[in-house]
Structure 1
Amino acid sequence: MPVLNYHSIGHDPGNSLVLAPDKFAAQMSYLAEHGFTPLSLTEFILILEKKKPAPPKPVLLTFDDGYEDNFEHAMPVLQKHQFPATLFMSPGVAGQDGYLNWEQVKQMHESGWDIQPHGMTHPHLPKLSPEKQKEEITEARRLIEEKLGTKADVFCYPYGEFNKTTLSVLEEAGFRYAFTIRQGWTTSAQPPLELKRIYVNGKERLSEWVRRLSKP
């Protein structure tokens, strides 16, 4: 299944991490008009584990980092199409300039977003001691679960970086899955803690996005 990896939805020409709101709207319209079915994280996992049949064109929409513009620009478009999405946030930066605050996160959750951890402070995990890695990972999960009353057992690696210690910490803490920035479609043959995604480049044309969305 394709898992799309978004970051900021806003205006910053030249920064490939930032996708212009009109481009994002065009991409979501394409999904709606061409029969794609955006999935909740729960649906995605059930399909990945072959416990539920997949719709004809499944796709998972993921957003990394927790930028405030996800609330301003992405959420209204997703609400218009009734599309769910998954947000990987770093609770330690919540409420800081440019980042979502908890009230916004709660509203997003109520509108159909799954909220999962991305480390407490978006660190370079392999540079940290085992103890600090554990703190970054488990504290982020604890805060999200405490604030939202949900289960936050799917991780996303900050900067896509991890090492054997990271994997051990996730396993010991009971995380079910983790997403990387390795490129490609997600399959059940991939290690559960090393799932691939498709990076959405803010500079690319709709046709290029469609090509990568439609072919593994």
Structure 2
Amino acid sequence: MLKPNKVQHECSNPAGSNCSFAVLNYHRVMPIHTFWNEQVLDVGVFEQQLQQLKRFFRVLSMEQALQLAAAGKVPTNAVVITIDDGFADCYDHIFPLLQRYQLPATFFISTQGLQQGYLWENQIANAILQAPVEITMLKLQDRNFASNGKTERHQSIVAITDLIKYHPMAQRNQLIADLIAQTGVPQMHHEFVTAEQLKQMAAAGMTIGAHTVHHPILALESAETARQEIAQSKAILEQILEQPVHYFAYPNGKFAIDFSDEHVAQVRDSGFAAAFCTDWGQARPTQDCRFRLRRFTPWDRNPWFFSLRLALHIVAERYSIRFLKEWVGTHGN
């Protein structure tokens, strides 16, 4: 594996178009009848995207991409696949399809899910979906959320998740407790990849990276809490996998909104080799800060539009074509 002290300085600047690669950012892949969030892809759509990636692009492991970037030898159509969080569908749906098409990927894991079987957003969804039918309205922070039908509950899950997300962890936990008290549904099912499954994925060639412990917005936490979230997630994964964990992804991941230069320094000091945000663009580890590498999310459900937009993204970013960057960023779905 690529060691932190073997990687080129994180903010060096040798120019070269063969030093960048596209990093795809996925979250959840599930059967279409089970989800309500736009970030979730249907299993069939995800498989079609993998078919397109296999056919038209060069899918690299994280280690391969960074090594080729350091040597200035990245293929023009290079792509790295990443999946954030670590929900159960990573093992149930994503991992089998990656194996079928012999494609590598990096999974960024929030380790609280390994320890208790779910993350905070699972608690929100569970409380709302399992609430008794007579509960038709929920209230949080003087806002009302309808729960009088399936569609309304799905919409409320998204709205309440967005509301709770931008609170420090202590307030987030209190709001979730208030929600559970209203619905009377505290029990949670296991909805996360297990430690044993994670070991199987790593043994099969998948890269495992860290994504904090509790998936907080780092910018909302104290410096010490943020440092612990970063370092402890690395330590927990290394203990499970019995191997170094070199890569990190910032929760939510928008620079200057969700994390800052202070957190970039904390990630570097924790011994990671590279880290990823969710700001759109190509990853340029030899030109930009190696602990703030960009990713790209083509949400197109049509596999041909997916391939077209990804290809145009690579061209626009490599050759700094401004109008094409803007078009790629605003056309999707």
Q: TM-score, normalised by structure 1?
A: 0.92
Q: 2:221 aligns with which of 128, 150, 153?
A: 128
Is 2:162 aligned against 1:64?
no
Count of residue pairs the alignment pairs up: 213
Bigger drift between 95-104 and 131-140 goes to 95-104
Alpha-carbon shift at residue 171 of structure 1 (Å): 2.3
Is 2:267 aligned against 1:184?
no
Q: 2:67 aligns with which of 30, 39, 46?
A: 46
Please name the residue that 1:19 is paired with.
41
Return 5+ residue gaps in structure 2 as ranges: 1-20, 119-189, 315-333
Q: 1:32 aligns with which of 49, 54, 60?
A: 54
* Matched-pair contact (CA < 8 Å) for 1:83–1:112: no
* Matched-pair contact (CA < 8 Å) for 2:77–2:311: no
* Matched-pair contact (CA < 8 Å) for 2:264–2:292: no
What amino acid is aligned across from residue 175 of structure 1 in structure 2?
F
Return 5+ residue gaps in structure 1 as ranges: none
* Matched-pair contact (CA < 8 Å) for 2:298–2:309: no
Is 2:162 aligned against 1:140?
no
Alpha-carbon shift at residue 137 of structure 1 (Å): 0.3
Bigger drift between 131-140 and 153-162 goes to 153-162
Cα distance, 1:80–1:204 mapped onto 2, change above 3 Å: closer
Distance of 2:305 and 2:293 partners within structure 1: 22
Larger strand percent: 1
Cα distance, 1:19–1:6 mapped onto 2, change above 3 Å: same
Distance of 1:30 and 1:158 partners within structure 2: 28
SS in 2 for 1:212: helix
Please name the residue that 2:209 is paired with.
116
Distance of 1:108 and 1:174 partners within structure 2: 23
Distance of 1:129 and 1:206 partners within structure 2: 43
Cα distance, 1:196–1:139 mapped onto 2, change above 3 Å: same
Distance of 2:76 and 2:264 partners within structure 1: 33
Question: Aligned runs of 1:148-159 on 2, under 5 Å?
Answer: 148-159=241-252
Distance of 1:48 and 1:149 partners within structure 2: 27
Distance of 2:263 and 2:97 partners within structure 1: 35
Distance of 1:156 and 1:89 partners within structure 2: 9
SS in 2 for 1:47: helix
Distance of 2:223 and 2:287 partners within structure 1: 28
- Between structure 1 and structure 2, the one with the greater Rg is 2
Alpha-carbon shift at residue 13 of structure 1 (Å): 5.2
Please name the residue that 1:212 is paired with.
309
What amino acid is aligned across from residue 149 of structure 1 in structure 2?
E
* Matched-pair contact (CA < 8 Å) for 2:28–2:40: yes
Cα distance, 1:200–1:56 mapped onto 2, change above 3 Å: closer
What amino acid is aligned across from residue 128 of structure 1 in structure 2?
E
Distance of 1:171 and 1:42 partners within structure 2: 17
Please name the residue that 2:10 is paired with.
none
User: Which 4+ residue blocks in structure 1 deviate beyond 2 angstroms?
Assistant: 11-14, 53-57, 203-208
Please name the residue that 2:177 is paired with.
none
* Matched-pair contact (CA < 8 Å) for 1:71–1:100: yes
Q: Deviations over 1:35-85 (max 9, x none)?
A: x2211121011012227x334532100000001111111111111111111
Is 2:102 aligned against 1:82?
yes
Distance of 2:35 and 2:85 partners within structure 1: 19
Distance of 2:195 and 2:277 partners within structure 1: 25
How many percent of aligned residue pairs carry the same amino acid? 30
Distance of 2:92 and 2:113 partners within structure 1: 18
Alpha-carbon shift at residue 200 of structure 1 (Å): 4.0
Please name the residue that 1:172 is paired with.
269
* Matched-pair contact (CA < 8 Å) for 1:186–1:196: yes
Distance of 1:98 and 1:5 partners within structure 2: 20
Bigger drift between 176-185 and 130-139 goes to 176-185
Is 2:216 aligned against 1:195?
no
CA-based RMSD of the aligned residues comes to: 1.7
Alpha-carbon shift at residue 122 of structure 1 (Å): 0.6
What amino acid is aligned across from residue 63 of structure 1 in structure 2?
I
